[in-house]
Amino acid sequence: MREVAIVGAGMTRFGELWESSLRQIFAEAAIEALENAGTDRLDGMWIGNMSAGRFVNQEHLGPIMAAEIGRAGVAAARVESACASGGAALRAAFLDVASGASDLVLAAGVEKMNDGVDVTDVLATASDQELEAYHGITFPGLYAMIARAHMQAYGTTEEDLAWIAVKNHRHGAMNPKAQFRREVTAEQVMASSVVAEPLRLLHCSPVSDGAAALLLCPLDQAKRYTDRPVKILGAGMGTATMTLAERESPADLDAVKHSAETAYKMAGVGPGDIDVAEVHDCFAIAEICCLEGLGMVERGKGGEAARTGETALGGRIPVNTSGGLKSKGHPVGATGIAQAIEIYEQLRDESGDRQVKGAKIGLTQNMGGSGASSVVHIFGRV
């Protein structure tokens, strides 16, 4: 396999972008990534997208998006793994370049969730239709069940969950692309309306529109496009059973563990080597479970790590310096790419107030569904 680098990045603001269509936000991010690298050439693109078919009635995203940026002719296809679609698209692009099949490949993600459909119903397609959604469980409901199981197994409290939101909003307040650029207090989180017990509104990521794109090429060609490329050290994807019912413990996310093990092995690093991480906090409990699955905190210590600042900026291992899905926003198919952009910028010292000083190795973890799929990437300074 060839070594692979990221040489360009582009991203829209995340939020309710009523003035823009699916293709417009994709084009904005993709054009920025290509111009960033100063290249006209493109060999292919992989587009992470969960459900444009349901959100805006548009499938077949490969050609429509390639044509939108004047690249009709290139290999292009949509990659889907629910909310991990962006991570899966990045992995596809990484393997495309690593294999030697393509030289300049766009890894993109796009989702247009605010266009009038029943979002709760569309997100529920990432759960098992016959065995879960049919009976009335919602997506927040599934994570609420994971939260209660985690509370029972490890003593996690509602206050622990609140501190995840407080920390991520504190980070997101400094991110100009974030949907919610404001801080919240633990009291505000715990007084917000209930979505699915024990999860409250401020434990949940919002409904968002947004797009993000990265340009990948072989490491030995990277200096043609940028003086500060970032190397992809490892990529891993894993799955677990779709239903919570078939997991031995609903509190443990095995897909995260599987994806992390593969990525750590490929990169030749361990959780202790990571300087900055973006993990999938679609709900506050998810950040806790993911950090445990990644081996970055002890089981049951994720909430405490946010409260004490261990996982905040300036702490031992800053997590979700972008604001995470919670504050930055969660246009589902774009999230995995947006996470990688945060790490790309951190490793290029471009994160401004959110910069983790001297960060050399970063990690992203992007999850699909209620923990049924997970993609981990590890990045390093060149």
**Residues assigned a catalytic role:** 83, 330
Residue number with CB closer to other proteins (133 or 313):
133
What's 297's DSSP letter?
S
| Window contacting other proteins (CB under 8 A); options: 136-144, 226-234, 343-351, 356-364 | 136-144
Which has the closest alpha carbon to 235: 258, 212, 211, 214?
258
Residue number with CB closer to other proteins (128 or 342):
128
Sheet strand arrangement including 276-278:
75-79, 44-48, 105-112, 209-218, 4-11, 230-239, 373-381, 361-368, 276-278
- Cα(first)–Cα(last) distance of the chain, in Å? 18
- Listing DSSP states for 42-101 in one string gives --EEEEE-S-HHHHSS---HHHHHHHHTT-TTSEEEEE-BTBTHHHHHHHHHHHHHHTTS
Residue number with CB closer to other proteins (121 or 350):
121
Q: Which of 64, 195, 253, 290 binds other proteins (CB under 8 A)?
A: 195
Does position 239 bind other proteins by CB under 8 A? no
Binding to other proteins by CB under 8 A, coded x per residue (else -) over 302-341, reads ----------------------------------------
Tell me the site size for other proteins, rule CB under 8 A.
Answer: 34
Q: Which of 21, 24, 243, 262 binds other proteins (CB under 8 A)?
A: 243
**Do residues 279 and 294 make contact, with C-beta atoms less than 8 angstroms apart?**
yes
Spatial distance between the Cα atoms of 286 and 309, rounded to a whole number of angstroms: 18
Residue number with CB closer to other proteins (191 or 245):
245
Q: Which of 152, 157, 185, 308 binds other proteins (CB under 8 A)?
A: 152
Residue 283's φ and ψ, nearest 5 degrees, are: -135, 150
| Window contacting other proteins (CB under 8 A); options: 214-222, 244-252, 284-292, 352-360 | 244-252
Spatial distance between the Cα atoms of 79 and 373, rounded to a whole number of angstroms: 13
Binding site for other proteins (CB under 8 A): 118, 120-121, 124, 130-138, 140-141, 144-146, 148-149, 152, 193-199, 241, 243-246, 250
